[in-house]
Structure 1
Amino acid sequence: MEEQQHAHILVVDDEDRIRRLLRMYLEREGYEIEEAEDGESALEKALEGDYDLILLDLMLPGMDGIEVCRRLREEKATPVIMLTARGEEMNRVEGFEAGTDDYVVKPFSPREVVHRIKAVLRRSSATAFLSPEPEMHNVIVFPELVIDHDAHEVRAGEQSVSLTPKEYELLHYLARSPDKVFSREDLLRDVWQYEFFGDLRTVDTHIKRLREKLSRASEHAAEMIKTVWGVGYKLEVPKG
């Protein structure tokens, strides 16, 4: 995992004290850190630079973190972890709808931030080839949908589909067990790997975004992701 330790991270927060604290801990882990103190400069850096992850405060002067993430997602799938204050549950839901991959609640433990960053980097398309767990079947093929896990590439119809790390992981998880129904709680536990304390809408939001992206390339691929009302979701393989 040595390459992961050299990941390039953009830390965005309007409080200099928090930026210094995060820089100290993250540089200690071997990460290369850049900083931004407002939404406008953060978006400019994120679009022009080549970052492996962005640590983004939700409440920023001018353009807030949600808008930064929303605009970033129009052009890039760079992993984003949002920093939010307690009591901002609706803002966190908005953040997931905008394309955030994870969030950390303030006041936070720097060790928790490091743990979340490592988890997201492991799942990200930019560093997935570093995963030490070999996949026995690295390419999953369905009619209209191909998932190449070695390359972390998804093709729907004849087109490549750009997904965020979390969207990709959710699709891959469903595709590994076609026709099996997973509850939202199952997906939160197994895909997100920790409890979200009732934020089940997180799953719904990611499913919605996943369908939208697939449908731009192939309606048939998007229609494979089925809602099982009152239970959860499954990836249904077309019959015949």
Structure 2
Amino acid sequence: MSGPIVFVPGLLCTETLFAPQIAAFSDRPIMVADHRNHDSVDEIAHSLLETAPARFDLVGLSMGGYIAMAVKRIAPERVSKLALLDTNSRADTADQTERREFMIELTRKKGFEKVPHLLFPGFVHADREEDEDLKSIVVDMARETGAEAFIRQQTALIGRIDSRPHLQEISCPTLVVVGDGDRLTPIEFAKEIHDLIPGSKLEILSGSGHLPTLETPGQATETLRAFLNDT
């Protein structure tokens, strides 16, 4: 058995996002970060560090990747290995911020019920847009997260920094993963992160979109297992 793993979910996601991987690493201490209570990526990172083990392997997907990069910037000595899945090291663009503000306003004025359904197609590979079982999982995670937490998360994403200047400082073993059909954070963003982190490894998962841990769980789990269990 190796050391603890801290998983950090994406926007509107819960520990269910990593359910297959949590089961696969059942021989190791597991913590799933709570990213619902703050409206700043750095505040979420500090909260994670307050409750995390002294040293741990860190796995973040999408928004979880933004938080993981902040953790690594704030307390680099705490992270033994880093896995960044389907994420982006850049700050929000003006267009992205505009879309987030629209979703916040929609939630406040019209309610939250339609939001997960509107977001789902972008979360998954184009071939899975009609996958009702997967959609049900994603919608249930969003409902568990709730409207107020969604607004805080979107606010945090709007205010996040450009992490690219800090990536070259990362010295721990790092894995960058992306689905080949990810439309939210496409392959070029993963390649950029990989190019900026010295010695990092890049894995492109076939047949997956933005949520490979659920879309292609076997492939995602084996990729993480090979990396995290490699001594």
TM-score (norm 1): 0.38
Which of 1 and 2 has higher RCO (CA within 8 Å, sep 6+)?
Answer: 2
Higher helix content, 1 or 2: 2
- Greater C-alpha radius of gyration: 1
TM-score (norm 2): 0.39
Higher strand content, 1 or 2: 1
